[in-house]
């Protein structure tokens, strides 16, 4: 089954790597935006299978975007995985306490990204 993933990340290089990696390794479609506000609108309109959300974003950080998604009846059911370069245990615990479905640390290994997502979301295919 082809999954649709929404990537919300302000770094163009990350967007290129994630899009290419998930398409090649898993056959998934990646919707991508650098704007949190646009990401919320895409989530509402497209209802992807999952959202990869950067924590460190300009204007609205990932935690604010996550909370806005949780306030949307349609979007709150979409699993969210944070992408973060913040590797300290205390920060990771804080992010997990928000109720996200997972955390992937940057830099991540492109070859195992799809597997990490499948594992975090308990997808069997």
Q: What is the pLDDT of residue 93?
A: 79
The token duo for 120 is: 């975090």
pLDDT digits (tens, 9 = 90+) for 10-31: 999 999 999 999 999 999 999 9
Q: What is the pLDDT of residue 58?
A: 85
Q: Taken in order 90, 95, 101, 107, is the CA torsion positive or negative? A: negative
Of 121, 105, 99, 103, residue with least CA distance to 28: 121
Q: What is the pLDDT of residue 1?
A: 66
CB contact set of 87 (below 8 Å; sequence gap of 6+): 105
pLDDT digits (tens, 9 = 90+) for 71-112: 999 999 999 999 988 767 877 777 778 888 999 999 999 999
pLDDT digits (tens, 9 = 90+) for 29-74: 999 999 999 999 999 999 999 999 999 888 888 999 999 999 999 9
Q: What is the pLDDT of residue 85?
A: 83
Burial 92-104 (b: 16+ CB within 10 A, else e): eeebeeeebbbbb
Give dist(CA 98, CA 100) in Å, integer: 6
Give dist(CA 7, CA 18) in Å, integer: 8
Taking every pair of Cα atoms in the chain, the longest distance, rounded to a whole number of angstroms, is 36
């Amino acid at each position: 089954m082809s999954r649709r993933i929404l990537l919300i990340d302000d770094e163009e290089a990350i967007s290129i790597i994630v899009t290419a990696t998930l398409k090649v390794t898993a056959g998934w479609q990646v919707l991508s935006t650098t704007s949190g506000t646009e990401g919320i609108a895409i989530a509402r309109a497209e209802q992807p299978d999952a959202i990869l959300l950067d924590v460190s974003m300009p204007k609205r950080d990932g935690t604010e975007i996550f909370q806005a998604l949780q306030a949307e009846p349609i979007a709150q059911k979409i699993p969210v995985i944070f992408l973060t370069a913040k590797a300290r245990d205390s920060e990771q615990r804080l992010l997990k306490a928000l109720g996200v479905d997972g955390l992937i640390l940057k830099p991540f290994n492109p070859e195992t990204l799809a597997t990490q997502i499948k594992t975090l979301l308990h997808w069997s295919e």
